[in-house]
Amino acid sequence: MDLGLDATERNGFVVLAVRGEVDVYTAPRLRERLVEMVSQGHHQVVVDLEGVDFLDSTGLGVLVGGLKRLRSHEGDLTLVCTQRRILKVFEITGLTKVFQIFEDVDAATVVASSE
Amino acid sequence: MDLGLDATERNGFVVLAVRGEVDVYTAPRLRERLVEMVSQGHHQVVVDLEGVDFLDSTGLGVLVGGLKRLRSHEGDLTLVCTQRRILKVFEITGLTKVFQIFEDVDAATVVASSE
Amino acid sequence: MVGSPTAVEHVERTGGIQIDVPAQPGYLALVRMLVHTLAQRRDLDDERIEDLVLAVSEACGWVVGSRLTTDSPRPVQVRWSESEDGCVIEVTDTTSHDGDAPSVPAPDEVELPPDPGRAALEGELSLPLVLALVDEVTSSAGPNGSSVHITVNCGPWDGQPST
Amino acid sequence: MVGSPTAVEHVERTGGIQIDVPAQPGYLALVRMLVHTLAQRRDLDDERIEDLVLAVSEACGWVVGSRLTTDSPRPVQVRWSESEDGCVIEVTDTTSHDGDAPSVPAPDEVELPPDPGRAALEGELSLPLVLALVDEVTSSAGPNGSSVHITVNCGPWDGQPST
Ligand SMILES: Nc1ncnc2c1ncn2[C@@H]1O[C@H](COP(=O)(O)OP(=O)(O)O)[C@@H](O)[C@H]1O
Ligand SMILES: Nc1ncnc2c1ncn2[C@@H]1O[C@H](COP(=O)(O)OP(=O)(O)O)[C@@H](O)[C@H]1O
């Protein structure tokens, strides 16, 4: 039932570490947090999925929603994920083509030309 | 579902370390093991309950059955248990008066006059 | 079976949960896991959760034990209902007939067996154990079977699982 | 509701398990835990177990999603049945009426959405996901409601839970 959401700053990125299960019940909390971050002016967001035990299609919808919102602010939402069970869901649905997925937070927060 | 039963010898005692859940489903396996030990001539038995997650009244019955069988062979069955949740079951049912319960295997296997 | 409360009606009435499992020893662990998970969502500390889980498991064991000789395929039904101030778990033996309520004495009528060793061997520790572990144990009979109702008093949700 | 298969009849017929939970998002985790535990007792590796759990959770989500506008108290029913060569999980929306089978296309008729991003936003990834995760998905309608049947092929018990 628990969803952990911990945000930290790194190289101008905000890294949101998600822990627990992202499903129909908890995904709205993730959505709210992403909306909040955008409205606070954080436009380079890394969602770290390494602590996620379960992710369903509602969770995918929320992540794509966050990506869309950030892109409309010239920002981006990238993912950190190496867990096979979670990557598989992105692969099956074709979302690996939509998200940039990194192996770790270091790789995801390398400063590049972001504007 | 799993019940682990590991027997080791120590100072002439057989220490049976029980792991997992002892319930209506698994208690027969514990009973068989105790019967087997008695028939192999092991009459000083220490049942180590430190690895037990769950113990129901069927488990209590099997332990008392073992004790009775061993005493009829001039032997004994003692317990090692410090877990509150498990001790509580012995306390509620009055079985703390029936079993000698030790804090650890060392204390349970001190060589005393056993005949 | 007219008037028999179905699972659907139970959930509608109470917002609670029902699970039906075969009356076989191997399914008790599943029921325990379910009760454990449900109880964790209430204001109960670990010890009281474990007490409740043991009590429900014992009550399911009564049904399973009574079946070992009959080989009936009818399930054990476990229903979880809750309110602001407690949870009630109803364990139903669906083979029992109307009017066949299991007799559960009032807790203060149950004395600890004078010889707990003998009582353990004869399987007589189960009921005193259950009565000591939870706040209330009652029984009833209905068209659905005979039931034991186990009540634990506790505070409301720690986090509502509804929308 | 004449002929409606009750939980009791289901368990009698199949030796299986039925759980009824409120059609609310907070109960999906409970269903997942149950399916996970039951699946672990079959010859399925961790990945296939997780695939099955996700598929069942998605199917429960369809029922929960369809309720968000109606506020009906009728539960989601999840039935687990198994045989030597597989398990079938039936997820039933007990508000649906006879003849109201949800339409589940054959897997080869379901194409991956050309724009998965847009599909994700519109909640259209669920069905392709489920079809990719398990061996068979069918649907049916009965007096009990409309159901999705999820099948996973797998070997027999690793350890029989009966006596
Ligand atoms: N359906 C029931 N309702 C209430 N108490 C029961 C029920 N069945 C058994 N008991 C109590 O549980 C204890 C153990 O039951 P018993 O029939 O001796 O089971 P077993 O011998 O199979 O362990 C007894 O104290 C008995 O009074
Ligand atoms: N009862 C059902 N049976 C089979 N497929 C369904 C059912 N309900 C929804 N779906 C499928 O699941 C996907 C998502 O359903 P949808 O109604 O869009 O849910 P939501 O918008 O609440 O996420 C769609 O592809 C739809 O075809």
**CA pair distance C161, C155, nearest whole angstrom:** 15
Residues with CB under 6 A from ligand 1: C 62, 65, 102, 104, 123-124, 126-127, 139, 148
Tokens of D11: 């368990």
Query: Could you tell me the distance, in angstroms and rounded to a whole number, from the CA of residue B87 to the centre of ligand 1?
Result: 22
Closest chain C residue to B69, measured at CA? C121
D82-116 residues labelled b (16+ CB within 10 A) or e (exposed): beeebbbbbbbbbbbeeeeebebeeeeebeebeeb
| Residue found by looking up tokens 């204001």 in the block | C43
| pLDDT at res. D145 | 80
| pLDDT at res. B115 | 46
Range of lowest pLDDT (B17-26, B83-92, C75-84, D149-158) = D149-158
CA angle C28, C32, C33 (to 5 degrees): 120
Using the 8-state DSSP alphabet, how is residue D61 labeled? H
D61 touches chain A (CB under 8 A): yes
Instruction: Choose among C32, C50, C125: nearest Cβ to B93.
Output: C125
Cβ-based neighbours of D152, under 8 Å, separated by 6 or more: D39, D44, D48, D51, D52, D86, D87, D89, D134, D135
Q: Which atom of ligand 2 is nearest to the CA of D104?
A: 4
| pLDDT at res. D4 | 46
- Residues of chain C with pLDDT > 70, as a percent, come to 82
Is C145's pLDDT higher than 50?
A: yes
Domain covering C7-153: architecture:
2-Layer Sandwich (3.30)
Is D2's pLDDT higher than 70?
A: no
Is C158's pLDDT higher than 60?
A: no
Q: Which of D30, D47, D56 is nearest to A25 (CA)?
A: D30
Write down the mean pLDDT value for chain A.
Answer: 94
pLDDT in tens, D20-35: 999 889 899 999 999 9
Residues with CB under 6 A from ligand 2: D 62, 65, 102, 104, 123-124, 126-127, 139, 148
Helices then strands, counting H and E runs in chain D, come out as 5, 5
Q: Mean of the pLDDT values across residues C50-60?
A: 97
pTM for this entry: 0.79
| Residue found by looking up tokens 């379910």 in the block | C34
Asked whether the beta carbons of B56 and C61 are under 8 A apart, the reply is yes
3-state SS, residue A96: helix
Tokens of A62: 């929320």
Q: Which of A18, A42, A41 is nearest to A30 (CA)?
A: A18
Is B13's pLDDT higher than 80?
A: yes
Is A1's pLDDT higher than 60?
A: no
| pLDDT at res. D13 | 75
